[in-house]
Amino acid sequence: MSNMGSHQGESLMPAVKTIALVTGGSRGLGRSTVEALARRGVSSIFTYHANKAAADAVVASVEHSGARAVALQLDTGETSAFPAFANEMRSVLGEWGAERFDYLVNMAGTSHSGLFGEVTEEDFDTAYRIHVKGPFFLTQTLLPLIADGGRIVNISSGLTRFSYPGRIAYASMKGAVEVMTHYMAKELGPRRIAVNTVAPGAIQTDFSGGVVRDNPDVARHVAEATALGRPGLPDDIGPMIASLLSEDNRWVNAQRIEVSGGQTI
């Protein structure tokens, strides 16, 4: 287990009151979410795929806000790793004086571009493992560790509402996530666990090779198609998710909430 986020004499520190798990929390929208939660006093366990240095930077940022964080390596496309990951979660929770965590954000994902006639079976299967199978079985595996009355946010995309050529495989998986969210909300209702989908529009990150951030023509097209006149930024999304997870939104359940600035309306 990673030692990031640990401190000398940590056992003397008070138990952590509110805890989130954010997959893919070392970069982009995941990092913004972890940092926004920290500003609200929520400590996070977050996953990273390979970039330990980026994960270390997020831990430092969270601790600067006065919250706590631990980064754990996980490939969310490899379901065989989930039981061991759950044990790592139990260890961290125990160190923090907790038995359960409160919020789960299934953020981790990768992009895919390819026209319908070009998508290979391998492309399709990879997108499925990461965006559908991974969140499904990770959430299932972690259910015993999620507190009754907790909250789950699954991440979709504006691309399930509007269409851009070359995004069919990715958008199809996100459509499945939206249906999955409805069923999770229904079946987890007896435990008072609310489950919602957040669907970002085009955001300026390194996602899709940084195309919205780094290509002026793409950024201009997005701005022209968006009512608020610009592409989104990571901090347009993370604070919104933190707010959705809070008690202020406790009665929001089974919803798809698009956060796109009014893209393609």
- Read off the CATH number of the domain in which 182 is found: 3.40.50.720
Candidates 103, 100, 41, 146; CA nearest to 249 is: 103
4 inside domain: no
The per-residue pLDDT for range 191-212, each reduced to its tens digit, is 999 999 999 999 998 766 666 7
- In terms of residues, how long is the chain? 265
End-to-end C-alpha distance for the chain, whole angstroms: 46
Displacement of CA 253 from its chain's centroid (Å): 17
Q: Cα–Cα distance between 7 and 223 in angstroms, integer?
A: 44
CB 218 within 8 A of CB 205: no
> Hey, is 229 helix, strand or coil?
coil
Q: Say how many domains are in the chain.
A: 1
Structural domain span for residue 152 = 10-259
264 inside domain: no
Q: What is the pTM of this model?
A: 0.92
Angle, nearest 10°, between helix axes 121-128 and 168-188? Answer: 30
Which segments of the chain have a pLDDT < 50?
A: 1-12
